[in-house]
Amino acid sequence: MAVNIPIWPGSSSFFPGDTPYGIYDYDTDFQLEVDKFADWSAKRLGYPLSEIELQSINLYAAFEEAISEYGAQLNTYNIRDNMLNLYGSATGSNLTGKKISANLGGIIELSNEYGVESMTGGNVTYYTGSFAVQNNKQIYDLSDPTIVSLENGTPGTTPIEIKRIYHDPTPALARFFDPFIGSGIGTQQMLDAFGFGSYSPGVSFMMMPMYADLLRLQAIEFNDAVRRSAYSFQVSNNRIRVFPIPNGASFTKIHFEYIVKSERSNALKGAVGTVSDFSNIPYQDVTYSFINAVGRQWIRRYALALSKEMLGYIRGKYSAIPIPNAEITLNGTDLITAAQTEKEGLITELKEILDSMSRQSQLERKQAEAESLTMQLNKVPLRIYIG
């Protein structure tokens, strides 16, 4: 039975809307290029010596897909190379064709969690709280709302974690005894700039170096720690034991800093509409007009492989065409095999080129270049000057 298969007519005329997706239909360079590609690919496939069972819209589709594949590979490489720099950036802008500057934002965001635990910053709020102490009572229940006050949350209901307790004796400088008080020198307030004027007279600072006073302060603190019941505490679950035993004169309230556990455990700390993973990094379809000659040649070769594969499937459907007293066997299988091999080779070639352009590869190349240059300069004889 004779089969009427549409074939390449020998020429084409592109109009916007002839491609399946229409991504590049209104790009001037695409409009000028697509008909040239259709003519070139048909001739590469054997026209006019053999008929090509394709029409212009098939070749247009192959060309569009090749551009999209090129853009997808390029965007994937850019996302991988810039992922750490893009965490937290806005998802509303198109990053295609834009330079992404390296920054420490992603690293700092990852280290914020350590800052929370080390009390040096982070993304979890530190709140303040306090509890009232009673005479001759050492142990207190931090979940008791009658004695505990929290800036955020309810004692006993809101799980919290105490990070710092302010329970210290008065500064040693406030208990500093200066035997030179009233010596008549008249230098009582001369060193207020040091912040010591409110606690200790300034006379001794005129007669001794500063380190002597610091040694005295340390001696006072060691004396308190060894010979007295030092100010300290023990926290176990919701209970706190304070030292020394409260007597109503030394202190009546103890303040502390805490975090709410649910805030630390909340993994959704980023703002809405910011980059979170591979899927929402705003790389869009490339603009064909901006692709250089190297990229366009890759696109032509890949589109030709797609056209060859398409032609192979069509010829595979009609593998044998009857003619008088014989039949013609088409080369569909050979075309498909060759096209798939070419596509895999082109993808591998593009990935290798992109990998060689990564920041890491460029730095390694610069390092090797610098080492080679140093070795060459070391072999240059140095002139000896005698003067």
Task: Please report whether residue 5 resides in a domain.
Answer: no
Cα–Cα distance measured from residue 210 to residue 264, given in angstroms and rounded to the nearest whole number: 44
Identify the pLDDT of residue 188. 45
Q: Is 358 a member of any domain?
A: yes
User: Do the domain assignments include residue 378?
Assistant: no
How many angstroms separate the CA atoms of 205 and 195, rounded?
12
- 194 and 249: one domain? yes
pLDDT of 298 higher than 90: yes
User: Which structural domain range is residue 60 located in?
Assistant: 28-101+278-366
Residues 94 and 120 in one domain: no
Residue 325 and residue 255 in one domain: no
Same domain membership, residue 254 and residue 148: yes
Q: Which of 16-20, 167-171, 353-357 has the highest mean pLDDT?
A: 16-20
Structure tokens at 333: 């299988």
**Nearest to 314, CA basis, from 55, 11, 36, 74:** 55
Residue 18 lies in a domain: no
Whether the Cβ atoms of residue 290 and residue 97 lie closer than 8 Å to each other: yes
Q: At which of 201, 236, 265 does a domain end?
A: 265
Q: What is the mean pLDDT of residues 118-133?
A: 86
Mean pLDDT of the 61-81 span: 94
| CB-CB neighbours of 58 under 10 Å | 20
According to the model, what pLDDT value does residue 301 have?
97
C-beta of residue 24 within 8 angstroms of C-beta of residue 64: yes
In a domain, 316, yes or no: yes
Distance, CA of 176 to CA of 216 (rounded, Å): 8
Interval 161-217: pLDDT, tens: 999 999 887 777 666 655 555 444 444 444 454 555 555 554 444 556 778 778 888
At 197 the pLDDT is 54
What's the pLDDT score for residue 185?
45
- 3-state percent breakdown (helix, strand, coil) of the chain, nearest 5: 45, 10, 45
Domain closes at, from 238, 265, 292: 265
**What is the structure's pLDDT at 120?**
76
For 351, the token pair is 């990935």
pLDDT tier at 105, thresholds 50, 70, 90 = confident
- How big is the CA angle at 130 (ends 127 and 131), to the nearest 5 degrees? 150
pLDDT at 24: 96
Within this chain, do residues 245 and 359 fall inside the same structural domain, yes or no? no
Tally DSSP H helices, then E strands, for the chain: 9, 9
CB hemisphere CA count around 4 (13 angstroms): 0
pLDDT at res. 304: 96
Share of the chain above pLDDT 90, in %: 37
CA distances from 191 to 195, 211, 277, 328 (A): 8, 15, 58, 109
Most confident range (mean pLDDT) of 9-18, 180-189, 266-275, 316-325 is 9-18
One domain for residues 261 and 361: no
Q: At what angle do helices 293-317 and 332-356 cross, to 10 degrees?
A: 160
pLDDT (0 to 100) of residue 195: 52
Indicate if 256 and 185 belong to the same structural domain: yes
Least confident span in 16-20, 52-56, 140-144, 228-232: 228-232
In this structure, the answer to whether residues 236 and 124 fall within a common structural domain is: yes
* Residue 133 forms part of a structural domain: yes
Give the residue from 138, 144, 216, 146 showing the smallest Cα distance to 179. Answer: 216
Mind spelling out the 3-state secondary structure of 270-325? CCCCECCCHHHCCCCCCCHHHCCHHHHHHHHHHHHHHHHHHHHHHHHHCCEEEECC
What domain count does the chain have?
2
| Alpha-carbon gap, residue 356 to 363, rounded angstroms | 11
- φ, ψ (nearest 5 deg) of residue 276: -120, -30
Q: Are 130 and 253 in contact (CB under 8 A)?
A: yes
The tokens describing 324, both together, are 């008088």
- According to the model, what pLDDT value does residue 121 have? 74
Min mean pLDDT across 101-115, 193-207, 222-236, 260-274 is at 193-207
Q: 211, 240, 265 — which closes off a domain?
A: 265
Residue 269 has pLDDT above 70, yes or no: no
Work out the pLDDT band at 286, boundaries 50, 70, 90: very high
75 and 191 co-located in one domain: no
Position 372: which residue type? S
Phi then psi for residue 19, to 5 deg, are: -95, 155
Taking residues 68-73, report their average pLDDT.
96
Shared-domain flag, residues 121 and 248:
yes
Q: Are residues 174 and 87 in the same domain?
A: no
Contact present, 41 and 303 (Cβ < 8 Å): yes
Helix, coil or strand: residue 84 = helix
Residue 298 and residue 230 share a domain: no
